[in-house]
């Protein structure tokens, strides 16, 4: 998705509005969670499973993601996906395999999950998707990710990118991606631009939900 361009005056305005909306929601809903279940497990031979939590702590969003059953010894991209207009996103299933190749690839997810929005790498607040700073799975096929994300900066970046819309975690889903680069897949498995399909193939997804007070 190509980011929308704005004048500096417009960008400043939408960033302030987006930040205000985020902090307003945070005051009423401090915590969110997601349980991630496997996607493409039958094709990749391993079933990923995990949990993610998101908690507003002061001026930060505290993120914890714990995964098991992921391909070992490789980097795993992870992001929340959603629709810029706030439409409620859901996780893709085998029903979204539009070309019938047996794989639910990144493009297949877009109809129900929207676009890739915020990465969970070393600096989520910058919203740079292609980096080499995502978590690496250990030899036992697990990884843990913990990050304190500055909410104001994340909100401002999000507002600039998505026309003043707010983060709205409970309308998003979280995906984990990645299989070994020597895994055989048909050429029909799609990806994001020049990024290899083994990097972006979804292996787990979870709906983000607000935790009741």
Residue 213 confidence (pLDDT): 65
How large a percentage of the chain has pLDDT more than 90? 85
User: How does pLDDT run across 149-171, given as a tens digit for each residue?
Assistant: 999 999 999 999 999 999 999 99
Name residues of the chain where pLDDT drops below 70.
Answer: 1-29, 213
Give whole-number Cα distances, 80 to 2, 54, 56, 118, 213, in Å.
17, 12, 16, 5, 23
Q: How many Å apart are CA 82 and CA 109, to the nearest integer?
A: 10
pTM, full prediction: 0.86
Residue 212 confidence (pLDDT): 80
Sketch out the chain's domains with CATH numbers: 30-151+166-210 (2.60.40.200)
Q: How many CB atoms lie within 10 A of CB 113?
A: 25
User: How does pLDDT run across 63-85, given as a tens digit for each residue?
Assistant: 999 999 999 999 999 999 999 99
Closest among 27, 75, 98 to 200, alpha carbons compared = 75
């Amino acid at each position: 998705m190509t980011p929308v361009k704005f004048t500096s005056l417009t960008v400043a305005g939408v960033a302030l509005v987006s930040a205000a909306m985020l902090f307003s929601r945070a005051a009423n809903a401090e915590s969110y969670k997601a349980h991630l279940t496997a996607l493409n497990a039958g094709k990749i031979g391993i079933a990923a499973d995990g949990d993610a939590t998101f908690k507003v702590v002061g001026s930060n969003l505290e993120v914890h993601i714990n995964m098991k059953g992921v391909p070992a010894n490789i980097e795993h991209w992870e992001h929340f996906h959603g629709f810029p207009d706030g439409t409620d996103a859901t996780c893709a299933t085998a029903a979204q395999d539009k070309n019938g190749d047996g794989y639910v690839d990144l493009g297949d997810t877009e109809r129900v999950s929207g676009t890739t929005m915020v990465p969970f790498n070393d600096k989520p607040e910058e919203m740079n998707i292609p980096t080499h700073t995502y978590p690496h799975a250990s030899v036992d096929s697990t990884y843990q990710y913990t990050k304190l994300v500055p909410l104001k900066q994340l909100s401002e970046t999000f507002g600039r990118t998505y026309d003043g819309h707010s983060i709205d975690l409970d309308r998003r889903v979280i995906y984990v991606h990645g299989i070994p680069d020597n895994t055989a897949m048909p050429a029909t498995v799609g990806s994001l631009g020049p990024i290899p399909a083994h990097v972006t193939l979804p292996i787990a997804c979870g709906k983000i939900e607000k935790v009741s007070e």
